[in-house]
């Protein structure tokens, strides 16, 4: 939860800057690595990656 908040804060500040690819890539990798138990959690995970 704290990692997700830290990424959200950093990405909110960086935005779509041309040099921010690596943090966006790390964020998507982080989201995909989170374990989801149940169909609701899996749908939440997919929605977070699409965001």
Dihedral class, residue 9 (left if φ above 0, else alpha if ψ from -120 to 50, else beta): alpha
Residue 41's pLDDT is: 92
Question: Is the per-residue pLDDT at 51 higher than 90?
Answer: no
Residue 30's pLDDT is: 95
Q: For the whole model, what pTM was predicted?
A: 0.78
Instruction: Find how far residue 1's CA is from the centre of its chain.
Output: 11
DSSP string, 8-33: HHHHHHHTT-GGGHHHHHHHHHHHHH
Place of tokens 């374990």: 35
pLDDT digits (tens, 9 = 90+) for 1-46: 899 999 999 999 999 999 999 999 999 999 999 898 899 999 999 9
């Amino acid at each position: 939860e704290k990692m997700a908040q830290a990424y959200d804060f950093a990405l909110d500040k960086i935005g779509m800057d041309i040099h921010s690819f690596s943090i966006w890539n790390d964020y998507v990798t982080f989201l995909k690595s989170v374990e989801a138990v149940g169909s609701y959690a899996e749908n939440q995970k997919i929605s977070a990656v699409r965001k």
